[in-house]
Structure 1
Amino acid sequence: MTRSPGTPLPPPKARRRLREAASLTQAQLADRMGVTRATVRTWESGRTTPRGRKREAYAELLKALAEEESAAAKRAPEAEAESGAQPAPVPVVVAVRTGPGSPAEAADSLVLPAKALPAEERREAEPERETTADPKAEPEPVGLTPAQAFDALYEFGTPALVRQTFLLTGRRELARESVERAFQTAWENWPEVARDPDPVGWVRAVAYEYALSPWQRFRPRNRHPEPPPADPGDRTLLNTLLRLPPRHRRTLLLYDGVGLDLPETAAETEASTPATANRLLNARRAMAGRLPELADPEVLHRRLAEVASNERLRAAKPPTVRVGSERRARFWTRAAIAFTVALIGTTALTLRTAPTHYEPPVSPGETVRGVPPKVAPGALSDEELELRQKLRDQMQDGPERLTPRLE
């Protein structure tokens, strides 16, 4: 029995283009499909594809969006031909909302988007200002310098990352230091981070690796526990979370705290999807065994956000982090240059002072017992003189010496 192929879907880039052309956000599309925003994000990135009824519904929705786009494209030339004259330019007013739901409040929450903000959300995340653009004036470039882009990413992601790292380690200073060190590494590799589709995830992975490094236990300040949370419930939850193995704790935090799906959690923890699922189930089972009220993932997510938000966590300003990263890079560069110069000087000195040929050492004299001393030559005795004369008289060469004779 052969299996019929599923409903065809457009490429991932086309899916996102159709959604943006219809002025729909990922959250709105997720509500219409009955899935989470992270699921829509993975569909548009091409890492996962829907199956079954979700695939058919998604294909029908994309088909309807494509038909609306084609119909709008056909109506545009007709409207221009009927109007004939260009409409008067209208001043453009840019206003960005603040207060509840603003970028500042979103940065203070525990959950961060797993990917970079889409175009419509980036427009909402701009600083608060209201300006009227002159239609006759030349448009100003909207591109950001690397320092401005880094500062925007730092201000957006730091508050939530510090809270997440605090839940991961239970230490406030270590959480702050880990996030700042991760952003310093990101500034050193900024071209790579700027092109990454998920820069916050890039920094988060580096911060988690630094915070969970086994070398942290050897630092003097990490040998003593820090003051626990003031609330007894928060203290119990944090202690229960810290009892989990580091890998299980990180998996639980990424899936139930940050909101990543299972494939994204597996990719960030560098594990297979089945192994990540087993870690997540074991972590949930351990949490529910000690705190039965946290058996519901929604309750667990809410409680993690409450524990993280109740702590007063601080972080340095973006320029301070950038300057620290540049100083660190200069220090290691100078150290590498100094080590190379020292190595070259040592090699040159060795070549200059090394001998050109091998001279075996002269062993010192030793006294050997039991061997008679060598006697100096003296006068020959009569027997020695007779033997010498006999040897001289005998024939030393010739064929006669080779012929046997009878005695």
Structure 2
Amino acid sequence: MTPCTTALFGENYWNQSLAVADALRPQASVHRATLPNQVRVWVISQYDDARAALSDPRLSKDNAGLTAIIRDQLAAAGQEADLSNMFAPHMMFNDDPAHARLRALVAAKFTRGRVRALRPWIEQLATAVLDELPVDRPVDLIDTVAFPLPLNVICQLLGVPLDDREYLREWTAALMEDLPERALPASREMERYFDRLIAARRAVPGDDLLSALVQQSEHGDQLTPPELMGTLFLLFVAGHETTTNLIGNTVRHLLAEPSRWRRLAADPGLVPAAIEESLRYDSPVRMATHRFTTEDVAYGGVVIPAGEIVLVWLQSANRDDNRFPRATDLVLGRADAAAHLSFGHGIHYCLGAPLGRMEAEIVLRALTQRFPDARLAASAHELQRRPSAIMNGYVGLPVRLAG
């Protein structure tokens, strides 16, 4: 096997992350790396170890312990030690029983029924978005479809005014980068914005999810103000960033071989399976969010000492030949595609997975039916990935639409 010369999270890593994963994974299951913000991490790359790590109680997501380790490392590296509100005390950065409590409070309002009720509206939105697309010149599918549609959906769900979406787009993009000079100002601006929105929903509630979360209850548990702010950050950012990447990555890989695209156009029933295979083949989430070791932990014959940050490399684990035959090939109709780890595993399995799948299915059905002869309008080396340790998506995706 050719040695891998591209460093994890290095300057040349982002656009070659699939190749880097496929080169490093057979060499070892655990790799040392340094994030762009100078935080040192251990990265788990093979499927069996990744799946085990996602539910290993020795790999903690306790907010206080996690943020203390990261802040210490940032300070030691001469970096700004403050963290963005993505590290606030929400359900993603807590262990049970705190995690179970926070998840239950959100799940009680973010129900499957609430998600299903959005389907007719999302279908109408997809039709309206596609109606605006030009068919006589290349169009950036990220900018025109994959980003605005999920953003509109999460705004509708949470009760965020759509007029504010451009500000929110800039802030969330900055939050997903690992550079304090970008993430911290964006987090502060977004927090001020959400403070005003929360106050408005308390004063005049609507039928949206945010109104349901902020209303005071005379009986029972409720989110504290810091928990509410952290939850709003989590729901908003994760609620559209991941789906944007899922749509963009799926379209990009299907159009890389136009016969795949035409196959879906001819048989829309294949769309859900195509989405699962895309989730496996090129996960919209590159790494699961940060964990830390509460004791010495061994994975793949490597001992990770206590007090270290661990990232689970979902993008790599999903392409492990020991779990998926021909793992580095995109195979429509793969029987075991749904065994991917793109939405996580264990207690932190993504609460928004049904919504993300539904949005991607609606968009992909609409695109393939209306534009069965679509094709990429840029070569593979021209497509640029976003520089984010956690999120995995394209900056832009030029396509030429044709029916």
Superposed pair shares fold, TM > 0.5 = no
| TM-score, L = length of structure 1 | 0.25
**Greater share of strand:** 2
| TM-score, L = length of structure 2 | 0.25
Which structure has the higher relative contact order (CA within 8 Å, separation 6+)? 2
Flag the structure with larger Rg.
1
